[in-house]
A and B are shown apart, each in its own frame.
Chain A
Amino acid sequence: MTLMAEFEIHELAAPYALDALDSEDRWTYERHLDTCDLCREEVAALREIATNLAYGVEGKEPPADLRARIVAAAREEPRSATVLPMRQRRWMLPATAAAAAAAACAAVGLGLWANTLRDAPTRVVAMEGGGSLIVSGNQATLVACVKAPPAGKTYEAWVIENGVTRPAALFAGGCQHVVLDKPVQSGTSVAVTLEAAGGVEAPTGVALMSADV
Chain B
Amino acid sequence: MSDLAMGLSSAVGLERPDDSGKRSDEQILEAVGRGNDDALGVLYDRFGRVAYGLAYRILRDQSLAEDAVQEAFLAVWRSADAYKRERAKPSTWILTVVHRRSVDLVRREERRRGEPLEAAPEPTSGPADEDASLRDQRVAVQAALSELPGDQRQALELAYYGGLTQSQLAERLGVPLGTIKSRMFAGLGRLRELLATEV
Contact = CB atoms under 8 A, between A and B. Distances in A.
Interface stretch (B6-14, B19-27, B45-53): B45-53
Contacts of A15: 159, 165-166, 180-181, 184
A62 B69 contact: yes
Interface residues of B, number: 77
Contacts of A74: 37, 40, 73-74, 77
A83 to B, nearest CB: 10
Interface size class of A (residues with CB under 8 A): 35 or more
A85 B124 contact: no
Contact of A61 (B41, B127, B138): B127
Given A14-B184, A71-B44, A85-B79, A44 B166 contact: no
Contacts of A3: none
A20 B100 CA distance: 9
Nearest to A56: B141
Of residues A40, A55, A81, which shows the largest number of chain B Cβ atoms within 10 Å of its Cβ? A55
B53 to A, nearest CB: 4
A54 B99 contact: yes
A186 B107 CA distance: 13
Interface string A194-213: 00000000000000000010
B178 interface: yes
A62 B52 contact: yes
Of residues A59, A128, A212, which shows the largest number of chain B Cβ atoms within 10 Å of its Cβ? A59
A13 B189 CA distance: 12
Interface of B: 35, 37-38, 40-41, 44-45, 48-54, 56-57, 62, 65-66, 69-71, 73-75, 77-79, 81-82, 87-89, 91-92, 95-96, 98-100, 103, 108, 111, 122-127, 130, 134, 137-138, 141-142, 144-145, 156, 159-161, 163-167, 169, 178, 180-181, 184-185, 188-189, 191-192, 195
Given A15-B181, A47-B92, A51-B92, 16 more contacts: A15-B166, A18-B159, A25-B165, A44-B87, A47-B88, A51-B96, A53-B145, A54-B99, A59-B50, A59-B126, A60-B65, A70-B40, A74-B40, A74-B73, A86-B82, A87-B82
